[in-house]
Amino acid sequence: MSGSHDLFAIVFLLAAMLLRDAGRFVPALAATACALLSKESAIAMVPALVFWDAITGSRAPRLARALIAYGCVIVAWAAMHPGVRALVAHGFQSGATGYVGLEHPERWARYSLRYVATLWNLPVTGFSTRWPSELTPWVAAALAVLVAGIAWGRGMRAALSSDIGSLPSARRLATLGLLLAVPPLLLPTFLVRPWVPYLVALPALGASLLLAIGLRRASVGVAVLTLAAFLVMGASCRGVSLPGELSWTEAVLVDASQAIHRVERNLRTIRPSIPHGAQLLVSVAATGTRGINSTIIDGQAPSIWYDDPSLKSARPELRGAGFRDDLLFRVTQGLDVVEIEPDQTLYRSTASSVSPFDIGRPISTYARGVAASGDVARSIRILERLARQDQGDLRSYDLRLAAMAAIWKGQKGEAARLVAEADSMPRDAALDQMAKVFGEPTARPDLDSCAYQAFGISTEDAESMRFLMRLYRDMGYVPQEEHFAARLQRIAPGDSGAAEVLRAKGGRR
């Protein structure tokens, strides 16, 4: 994670403040819009810009104009931003909006204390915090720059005294500092599910102003010692680690960065080059907070790694038709990369040994994508070949996926043959297998719905719909939870669980 969004937002916000202070209202408005487009949390800084003239006392405030102009910018930004629209549509609850949502009030006090501590460079893990030794040379260099800068500033103090005297009063500056620090500090406290220390970057603008007020009349020695301690404590905050808790500390982000670089190296080892216009179908094992799947799929990282914008990365079940080449990969939990040839069940890997699961599951998911993109015959061939290698429930799963494709194509005889060849499975096992299908939907819902017939579950079975609804609720899969709640409500009108889910859905809209 580069943090470039935050840095761009800070630059544009500083520009907006400078322009606002100079009385250049329209350019300040444009800079604010750029800040909002850079980082959503910049919205918390807008109140300071709206009330700028009243706070600084630099000119007569025109509050109505500022409220209308900045309000229009915010409305236009919110209207065009898909994430903001989704958040509003879901009643500010997370789900469709990933890790952002107004929930878990029991965490707000803890998070607010942590953010305040981090804002002032106090490690939340106290004296047990690991010192990031890799930063020691950089801290030493920063301290040298700090001392040199203050020494230079001491020589310039007389020249700057007139400018210092023309500043607003300490009370006005403190008000501005609080308005720049508090709202952007409260925003992640209430809306961001994990604790994310780097989100104090924006409120640090206000904290810096408050710190400057405190040191305004301080001697050089006091200023040097205070800022040096602040710098060293800031470096120590980089060593904060909270194992077992969802938090994006610097240690977590460094680990994620190293992990994705390792995946890149392994992919390049397997594939030094990739044909122009190829489609990469990538199945990623659970990798925790490293974000491998989102970096590869959402961030389209391979197109950057290979410097080829024509490359498209997607999950195997979302395979598209019409690409020059299909390349199927699996990223394992150990971050090794496996390239799989699905038609012959062949593979090559950066690991010395590969689990059969890391071969078979990507193939079965890919075969579903092949069917959804129109090649049902090939999908069935791939799944039947895979079934000859699998045993037990896995073999039954492969054959029933093939039967789904045949049902969707209207090949009733073929579907009946495939289901007959599959081992029978108890209802609970069938529901677990179906949950995989609906949890990884293809681009064709009508194909996915063939799972009911293929796995022998009736669409009128209220208990099965209730099981799937609760399962997806526990997994945090909101669309699937709502889908099965609607089915359950139709089958069993008045079901309290389904009604609760649908009420929440209505409230989010």
Q: What is the SS3 assignment for 147-211?
A: HHHHHHHHHHHHHHHHHHHCCCCHHHHHHHHHHHHHHHHHHHHHHECCECHHHHHCCHHHHHHHH
Last residue of a domain, one of 301, 335, 350: 350
Residue 33 lies in a domain: yes
**Model confidence at 306, in pLDDT bands (50, 70, 90)?**
very high
61 and 202 share a domain? yes
181 and 310 share a domain? no
Q: Find all residues with CB under 8 Å of 92, minimum gap 6, and list them.
A: 101, 102, 191
pLDDT at 191: 86
Find out whether 372 and 319 touch, Cβ atoms under 8 Å. Answer: yes
212 and 299 share a domain? no
Write out pLDDT tens, residues 138-169.
Answer: 999 999 998 888 777 666 655 555 555 567 88
Question: Phi/psi at 120 (nearest 5 deg)?
Answer: -100, 20
pLDDT at 221: 83
Residue 66 lies in a domain: yes
pLDDT at 330: 97
Residue 329 lies in a domain: yes
DSSP 3-state assignment of 348? strand
Residue 195 lies in a domain: yes
pLDDT at 102: 75
State how far the Cα of 247 lies from the Cα of 382, in Å rounded to an integer.
Answer: 41
- Total domains in the chain come to 2
85 and 189 share a domain? yes
Residue 46 lies in a domain: yes
State how far the Cα of 98 lies from the Cα of 248, in Å rounded to an integer.
Answer: 14
175 and 321 share a domain? no
126: its two tokens: 């106290």
Write out pLDDT tens, residues 358-403.
Answer: 999 999 999 999 999 999 999 999 999 999 999 988 999 999 999 9
128 and 48 share a domain? yes
Question: Phi/psi at 476 (nearest 5 deg)?
Answer: 80, 20
**Model confidence at 98, in pLDDT bands (50, 70, 90)?**
low
49 and 187 share a domain? yes
Last residue of a domain, one of 350, 374, 392: 350
SS (H, E, C) 380-433: HHHHHHHHHHCCHHHHHHHHHHHHHHHHHHCCHHHHHHHHHHCCCCCHHHHHHH
Nearest to 434 by CA among 465, 462, 392: 465
pLDDT at 3: 66
pLDDT at 507: 46
208 and 286 share a domain? no
Residue 183 lies in a domain: yes
210 and 93 share a domain? yes
- What is the pLDDT averaged over residues 98-111? 80
- What is the pLDDT averaged over residues 483-494? 91
pLDDT at 501: 84
pLDDT at 103: 73
Write out pLDDT tens, residues 403-453.
Answer: 999 999 999 999 999 999 999 889 999 999 999 999 999 999 999 999 999
26 and 120 share a domain? yes
Question: Phi/psi at 348 (nearest 5 deg)?
Answer: -140, 150
Residue 304 lies in a domain: yes
pLDDT at 509: 47
209 and 329 share a domain? no
State how far the Cα of 401 lies from the Cα of 442, in Å rounded to an integer.
Answer: 12
Lowest mean pLDDT: which of 234-243, 262-271, 329-338?
Answer: 234-243
Write out pLDDT tens, residues 17-71.
Answer: 999 999 999 999 999 999 999 999 999 999 999 999 999 887 888 889 999 999 9
Last residue of a domain, one of 350, 372, 401: 350
State how far the Cα of 469 lies from the Cα of 483, in Å rounded to an integer.
Answer: 8
**Model confidence at 1, in pLDDT bands (50, 70, 90)?**
very low
Residue 431 lies in a domain: no
Scan for tokens 């602040």, then name that residue: 230
- What is the pLDDT averaged over residues 291-315? 95
177 and 83 share a domain? yes
- Computed over every residue of the chain, the mean pLDDT equals 89
Provide the percentage of residues in the chain whose pLDDT is more than 70: 94
Structural domain range at position 48: 3-133+167-217
